[in-house]
Amino acid sequence: MSIFNRLFIISQTRFLKPLFIFTVLFLFLMPVNFSNAAQREFDYFSVNIPSGWKANQDGDTVLILRNDHSASMSVTVASREGVDFDDIAKEFARGLDGSDFEIDDDGDANFLFNDGKSYTMILNGGENFVVIAMTGMASHSNEMSKIIDSMSMK
Residue 22 has pLDDT above 70, yes or no: no
pLDDT confidence tier of residue 68, bands split at 50, 70 and 90: very high
DSSP three-state, residue 58:
strand
Residues 110-120 have pLDDT tens digits of 988 888 888 88
pLDDT at 62: 94
Where in 2-154 does DSSP place strands (E)? Answer: 38-41, 45-49, 53-58, 61-66, 72-79, 102-103, 109-113, 118-125, 128-135, 152-153
CA distances from 70 to 6, 62, 141, 149 (A): 22, 17, 12, 20
Which DSSP category does 91 fall into? H
Residues 86-105 have pLDDT tens digits of 888 888 888 888 888 888 88
| Structural class in CATH, domain 3-153 | alpha beta
CB 119 within 8 A of CB 110: yes
Angstrom distance (rounded) from CA 112 to CA 121: 9
Residue 23 has pLDDT above 60, yes or no: no
